[in-house]
Amino acid sequence: MEEKVNQNQNVDAVLSTVSDEYLRKKKRNKKITLSVILFFVLALSVVIITLSCVKTNLKPYFLSEPSNIEVYIGGTRQYSTAPTDENYDEFYNIYQKSFNSNILTALFTGKLGSYKIYEPDSLESFYSSSSSKTGMSNTLKDYLGDNYVHLQYGQDQQLYNADGSTYYSTRWSNRYNMQYKDVYFNITDTNADHELTFYFGAYYKGEDGKDYSPHIISITIRANTFQLYDYVTAE
């Protein structure tokens, strides 16, 4: 009888030891799990903070420095500058910063390093006189409103897709690569990101070397043009 009692006590002791060991392992695994979760939360926080601080420029990469820039406020030319002017560098720096955005915002808006070139199915005139490539069409005026910037180039510029490939017009079965010398975009007096559309006076070169069918092709990004507006209106 006494031997049986001892056996039962031994079994209870073993079970107690196993139970204690199990509980210790469970606590240890729980601590490890919590540590891993905490590590990933901290790592994610660091990534988010870093991405919110690092800036990227959303302006289409191929849009180079123009030979002249005009700014219109209320439909009237308010400011004009060229690379040889005294205050040009200050203005151009503000112009460039208008397209800066933190990487986090760019990721959420789907604009990080990407853009789509939009060419309407029906041809929309860019110039009021297509033959001389001067003036603004009524359609372009309606798109821009009263506050806008005009970028002027002295030489033919080439349109490129976001992946670096040459853009070919969809209107002529991808036969012609499109070029431009004039670009417009709208600006606002609100200090916040907004949709900004570049309007290109796009045309193609014929075999005779002449420019044909100048029409509107556009690219839309996000930007904050308030500092640009403020700089010009404070002059």
Angle at 83 between CA 80 and CA 86, to 5 degrees: 75
Neighbours of 85 (CB within 10 A): 14
Q: What is the pLDDT of residue 15?
A: 45
Q: How far apart are CA 180 and CA 178, in angstroms?
A: 7
Beta strands in 103-167 (DSSP E): 117-118, 148-158
Nearest to 157 by CA among 140, 136, 178: 178
What is the end-to-end Cα distance of the chain in Å, rounded? 108
Nearest to 177 by CA among 161, 188, 199: 161
Question: CA 174 → CA 12, 54, 210, distances in Å?
Answer: 85, 38, 19
Angle at 113 between CA 110 and CA 116, to 5 degrees: 70
Nearest to 232 by CA among 66, 77, 78, 70: 78
Beta strands in 76-167 (DSSP E): 76-81, 100-102, 117-118, 148-158
Question: Cβ(164)–Cβ(117) under 8 Å?
Answer: no
- Give per-10-residue mean pLDDT for the chain (235 aa): 50 53 65 67 53 63 95 95 93 92 52 79 90 90 96 95 91 82 95 92 87 92 93 85
Q: What is the pLDDT of residue 19?
A: 58
Half-sphere exposure of 223 (CA within 13 A, CB side): 26
pLDDT in tens, 70-127: 999 999 999 999 999 988 999 999 999 998 865 545 444 545 557 899 998 888 999 9
Q: What is the pTM assigned to this prediction?
A: 0.75
| H or E stretch at 37 | helix 2-53
